[in-house]
Structure 1
Amino acid sequence: MTGKSPTLILVHEPERACFDRLLADGFPAQAATEISSYLAQSTDLAPEFEALADACAARGLDFRAVELDDAAEVLAACDRRDSLVWTLTDGIAYFRGGAAPALARLNGLRTIGADDSLFALCQDKFRAGAVLAALGLPVPAAGVARGDKWLVEPPASSSGYFVKPNRLGAKIGIWEDSRIGKAGDALALGRRVFDAYRDDVIVQPYVAGRNVRASFLAVDPDAGPEVLGIVFVDSGGDFQTMADSMALYGDTGTAAKADGSYSEPELVHVGSVQPVAAATIRRIAARLMAGLGLRDVFSLDFRVEADDTVHLIEFEVCPGLPCFDFRAYCRAEWHLSLVEAMAETAARRIG
């Protein structure tokens, strides 16, 4: 690294660093393994750092991957004129990546992605839902419980409820019995989640439909919702569980490949099947970009019913870039591999 070329700095929190910290904080090894699996993209992208450096070099950029624990020192020494910070992994509770864009802002450095306030918001599903509802978006109403006590009771529902941890992603704490019939049954799951992970649960009326992922990367800085990649993610069940997710990514995904149990969900473009729903999703994305401030790179999760009713479930400011669906999006929309798309995105901003 010469220090003379514009530099892309990729900040990431390794699974192992998170695992060790959770053990030190008293979490059992199994819970620490499950929680730290959220950072699988750090594990999965690391073998491609050299290829990413080559792709950057081909575009006149230097590249530096920085572990989160080193970020404060590294970012403080960066030249604000020719440095660009891309935060790979987020987090405000069990994970700490949300500090990276704040550190970049503290040091006057340009960033890829949303500002640090959204890094915090997206990690709290209950608070995020309140903001999304205020924007007039079709997000399910919710209650929240801590252990076996309601903090906010959920609305009445004739379709049952879905229960998941409030501040954990990557399907952590979602089990086969996370769909329930009565609101009162949520408190047993709330106790189970709190005992395992020390987290609250969000309790929402169950919404029918297929799971949809909308991926966005503005390789072209002027790109808008028209480049959104919108696909059904069909895993064979009504919803993905923690076991399903852990078998796809990170160290546990590698083990699944080794023992032959790895299986990627099928991706089907929503526009080819339900174009009305796809158009609705693009309008929602436009509203989120204008009203919430999503930009550069993000993903959105939906449930889409057969009659084109769309339910917004959540948004992510640090989508799983090395995941199969985001790689497929880069190939389909930008005709680039993942590392080429990342390098081109950076080059068009600081190259």
Structure 2
Amino acid sequence: MSSAELILVYEPEQACRERLEASGMDAPAAAEISSYLAQSTDLAAEFEAIAFECARRDITFVPVQLDDAAKVLSERDPTTTLVWSLTDGIAYFRGGAAPALARLNGLKTLGAEDSLFALCQDKFRSGVVLGALGLPVPPAGLVRDGAWLAPAPASRDGWFVKPNRLGAKIGIWPESHCRELPQAWEISRRIFSRYCDDAVVQPYVAGRNVRVSFLAIDPEMPASEALGVFFVESGADFQTMEDSLALYGGTGAAAKAENRYSEPDLVPVASVQPEADTRIRALCLDLMKKLGLRDVFSVDLRVEPDNTLHLIEFEVCPGLPCFDFRAYCRRQWNMSLPEAIAAAAAARLAI
């Protein structure tokens, strides 16, 4: 019997979809929302490989569905248990409960403290906090079903409209970048009708999309050097819901099999805009210091040709089996995803 356990708590895609439909949401919208949990669907195929890599490090790997987490965590030994939540969520998803349950039972966690699991899911409040900390986040207005709760900031290049509690970089529809405020108002009505969510309205910012990934594996390596900083080149200005569905889970697998979608290219920012790379690494260190990010996280930005940075969002539960995080594990750590998961758990347990 191993002396330590890694408990990976995940919320199944199907369970979320069924719960949303039972609450009255129509099936297509419930399917779109639950698709954000496709990483749990994708990672399940690798549980055996993760268990093997953990066993090599004298760790027992225990994947636990979210609905079973309260009972399982209440029975664990705080001296030998590490909890890693694969999902966050305070609205459509409930994964934010996992780190709180771990804290309730005195268990060690991998990742940020549980308060950030709630903050990162509310994009408007998150932006307010990031702005107050002096980080370069675009200002935002907030509108609920056509009623402004906070006025939209002025903008010369139009606005970007997105759900407040879903993906901060996903515009849902191609017209989510709009030129007139009445259009933003109408999109907010559509968002509320389909997802029962408020809409964030931000000035549109130009630039290329950047994804930063981080996983703490080597305690001797400075955090700034452990970051993976890549341009995400998909050929589109921003990701829509259709694009997202084509990347992950069963829908993504079908799209790839039918050659309807290909993974974006990842280009190291340092190879194109070295000054931007330096600034991004400094910004991420600021996030770690001021906000408390640690162990595993991702950051999305827009970067202009003059190296101006726009911080779009941070995620405390990045999509581990997604193409970008797998590529980061290969390029930064020369590891497969199961190897990297096990190595990160071993490093955290050693602290």
In which range does the TM-score fall when normalised by the shorter chain? over 0.9
1:221-270 deviation line (CA, Å, top 9, x unaligned):
45412211000001111111110111000121122123221310011000
Distance 1:304 1:14 in 2: 34
| Structural mapping, 1:297-336, within 5 Å | 297-336=296-335
Root-mean-square deviation (Å): 1.1
Matched, 1:96 2:87: no
- Asked if 2 retains the 8 angstrom alpha-carbon contact of 1:170 and 1:245, the reply is no
Distance 1:171 1:198 in 2: 18
How much has 1:169 moved relative to structure 2?
1.9
Structure 2 counterpart of 1:203, from 201, 204, 207: 201
Change (3 A) 1:305 1:171: closer
Structure-1 residue corresponding to 2:111: 113
- Asked if 1 retains the 8 angstrom alpha-carbon contact of 2:168 and 2:312, the reply is no
SS of residue in 2 equivalent to 1:177: helix
Distance 1:303 1:240 in 2: 13
How much has 1:171 moved relative to structure 2?
5.8
TM-score (norm 2): 0.97
How much has 1:147 moved relative to structure 2?
0.7
1:256 aligned partner, one-letter code: A
- Asked if 2 retains the 8 angstrom alpha-carbon contact of 1:170 and 1:242, the reply is no
Structure-1 residue corresponding to 2:244: 245
Work out the number of aligned pairs and report it. Answer: 349
Distance 1:132 1:173 in 2: 21
Matched, 1:284 2:283: yes
Distance 2:259 2:156 in 1: 40
SS of residue in 1 equivalent to 2:174: coil
Structure 2 counterpart of 1:46, from 20, 26, 44: 44
Distance 1:157 1:95 in 2: 32
Matched, 1:76 2:74: yes
How much has 1:316 moved relative to structure 2?
0.2
| Structural mapping, 1:182-221, within 5 Å | 182-221=180-219
Distance 1:347 1:308 in 2: 37
- Asked if 2 retains the 8 angstrom alpha-carbon contact of 1:230 and 1:278, the reply is yes
SS of residue in 2 equivalent to 1:264: coil
Distance 1:80 1:118 in 2: 22
Structure-1 residue corresponding to 2:273: 274
Matched, 1:236 2:220: no
Distance 1:129 1:348 in 2: 31
- Asked if 2 retains the 8 angstrom alpha-carbon contact of 1:84 and 1:350, the reply is yes
Distance 1:297 1:19 in 2: 26
How much has 1:349 moved relative to structure 2?
2.6
- Asked if 2 retains the 8 angstrom alpha-carbon contact of 1:173 and 1:193, the reply is no
- Point out the more displaced range, 93-102 or 235-244: 235-244
- Asked if 2 retains the 8 angstrom alpha-carbon contact of 1:171 and 1:242, the reply is no
Gaps of 5+ in 1: none
2:314 aligned partner, one-letter code: F
Runs of 4 or more above 4 Å deviation: 170-173
